[in-house]
Structure 1
Amino acid sequence: MADPHPERPSIEREDKRSFLQKLVEFIHPGPDSRDELIETLADAEDNDVIGAESRVMLEGVLRMADMTAGDVMVAAPRMDLVDIDDPLETLIHTVIDTAHSRFPVFEGDKENIIGILLAKDLLKLQRSPSLSIRALLRTPTFVPESKGLNDLLREFRGNRNHLAIVIDEFGRVAGLITIEDVLEQIVGEIEDEFDIAEDEGDIFGLADHTYRVSGDTPVERVAEAFGIEFDAEQLTEDFETIGGLIAHEMGHVPKRGEHHVIGGFDFFVLHTKGGAVRWFKVSPARGGDAAD
């Protein structure tokens, strides 16, 4: 006997194809290589099939397939580490000065990473002063330099751990990589709380009576704001910004935590990005430093 209520074919079935698969099928027969696909995406943008931001993101996804953790990591010499034996006051200053949310923690030797400290976990010490810093550490994740960014992003999403220590072929610490570093390969540079639009200003007064100064601030503006009299050499056209001038005087690109005194003011490197100083913390120099 036939089923009086036969199963009707679903008119609308779930389409499990990825967006990229749909796009490739749309432009069938499609390109034969990744480079041709990227050229096709550019044509699609020109023909208003996709927007400019969509094209950039799709190209980022395609190029990321060939990239590894070693390609985008923060190299070991530039890592901001925390010593497990540092007193709480030192830890708090490190958190404030670097503005990171996660810190690799070492014991004894900097190669000996024993955990990851979340800045927000330091608040627990206010409620429980007897709590050990060691008890706050999260288990570190180690990945090889050859780890593909696609696989790494999948792991970041799966284990909710947004920082990994990168290890070279000899087992040494080569650097670190965050989920932000990976995502920036797709969506471009991710702005953070230090990335303030140029039209919003370049010198900011802080609550502790110090100042936050953009590295791109013109030297003349810094001179006017702080009453600094730069000499003729310092005002040469080769150094239009305060970041460029300080890098020249120090003889290298300043790193986070370094400082330089000019005109009685201490310029502390608060934040760097892309090989340049993004923000200085400026305060009156103390004692003998003021004479530098």
Structure 2
Amino acid sequence: MADTPPSPGPQRSLRQEDKRGFLQKLAEFIHPGPDSIDELIGILAEAEDNDIINAESRIMLEGVMRIADMSAGDVMVAAPRMDLLDIDSPYDELLHIVIDTAHSRFPVYEGERENILGILLAKDLLKLQRAPELNIRALLRPATFVPESKGLNDLLREFRGNRNHLAIVIDEFGRVAGLITIEDVLEEIVGEIEDEFDEVEDEGDIYSLADSTWRVSGDTPIERINESFGAKLAMEEFETIGGLIAHDMGHVPKRGETHESGGLHFVVLHTKGGAVKWFKVTPAEAASGD
């Protein structure tokens, strides 16, 4: 009986694996991958310059990478700026706070602000209106407590896995340090990062968006706004654009409110802790034309 020739399958497979390995090594030699997050961010900047991605996409991708090194303590609303509800307050007072702050969830305390009993959903106040005999304690949801050192990646995963989108942040001594919401974490992904083209000594953030507008943080110095946009905003009384706009409007701006000053049109995108976090800025003439 004739000898059966050896099967070419394993040898061909081995040659293919060697070939793939060689091509991969050659590609890595010609185009070595980034060795650090900063190098990867530089590659994203080049991709934006080459119109492969837009500015908003770059900001989001950078945010995803940077939150890996951030903790709850970096993003939280500090305890003195937390909007809390006193469980012993009358219904009308509670409703007034809810309407003014426009939050969907509130920590509820009894006696001292550190004594957090639970979380009240704003929509649950409607139950008290329809049935005043209800005890507000029965409407409270359990409060989630996290340490300041809690990583944002882990926190975002927990927020996504349950329906508690607000957590009380505790310091190393067990005291209330602040609070953080899922919206605070997502903000870090959609733009609250340092632009690689900004000077290190600059404060605040100004991002050029794809629709020819700008995303400007509320803590940006007025001087920088004037330099960046060629505006002539007054700098005598206030240092930041958020402080100036709030003064001009006569109240703490709310999301969606607009204001014009110094030839610029401002739209409030987000507020946190009683201050404007982000504006959308357009030259006033362009805004009126739209």
Instruction: Return structure 1 stretches of 4+ with deviation > 3 angstroms.
Output: 239-247, 253-256, 271-278
Measure, in 1, the Cα distance between the counterparts of 2:98 and 2:150. 29
The answer (yes or no) to whether the contact 1:164–1:176 under 8 Å persists in 2 is: yes
1:161 counterpart residue number: 164
Q: Which of 71, 74, 87 pairs up with 2:74? A: 71
- Structure 1: tracts of 5 or more residues without a match: 1-24, 190-235, 248-252, 257-270, 279-292
RMSD: 3.3
Measure, in 2, the Cα distance between the counterparts of 1:90 and 1:177. 24
1:133 counterpart residue number: 136
Q: CA deviation at 1:53?
A: 1.6
Measure, in 1, the Cα distance between the counterparts of 2:47 and 2:271. 36
- Structure 2: tracts of 5 or more residues without a match: 1-27, 193-233, 255-269, 278-290
Q: Secondary structure at the match of 1:57?
A: helix
Deviation digits for residues 117-149 of structure 1, max 9, x if unmatched?
111000011222211100110000000000000
1:211 counterpart residue number: none
**1:122 aligned to 2:125?**
yes
Q: Secondary structure at the match of 2:118?
A: strand
Measure, in 2, the Cα distance between the counterparts of 1:39 and 1:153. 26
Q: Give the share of equivalent positions with the same residue, in percent.
A: 77
Deviation digits for residues 60-113 of structure 1, max 9, x if unmatched?
001111000000100000001111111111111111121111110011221110
2:147 counterpart residue number: 144
Q: Secondary structure at the match of 2:69?
A: coil
Letter paired with 1:124? K
2:178 counterpart residue number: 175
2:284 counterpart residue number: none
1:83 counterpart residue number: 86
The answer (yes or no) to whether the contact 1:102–1:163 under 8 Å persists in 2 is: yes
Closer/same/farther in 2, CA of residues 238 and 276 from structure 1, 3 Å limit: farther
Q: Secondary structure at the match of 2:180?
A: strand
Measure, in 1, the Cα distance between the counterparts of 2:188 and 2:276. 21
Letter paired with 1:41? L
Residues 27-42 of structure 1 mapped to structure 2, 5 A cutoff: 29-42=32-45
Q: Which of 159, 184, 189 pairs up with 1:186? A: 189
The answer (yes or no) to whether the contact 1:163–1:179 under 8 Å persists in 2 is: yes
Q: CA deviation at 1:242?
A: 11
Measure, in 1, the Cα distance between the counterparts of 2:124 and 2:103. 13
Closer/same/farther in 2, CA of residues 169 and 54 from structure 1, 3 Å limit: same
* TM-score relative to the length of structure 1: 0.58
The answer (yes or no) to whether the contact 1:143–1:164 under 8 Å persists in 2 is: yes
The answer (yes or no) to whether the contact 1:78–1:255 under 8 Å persists in 2 is: no
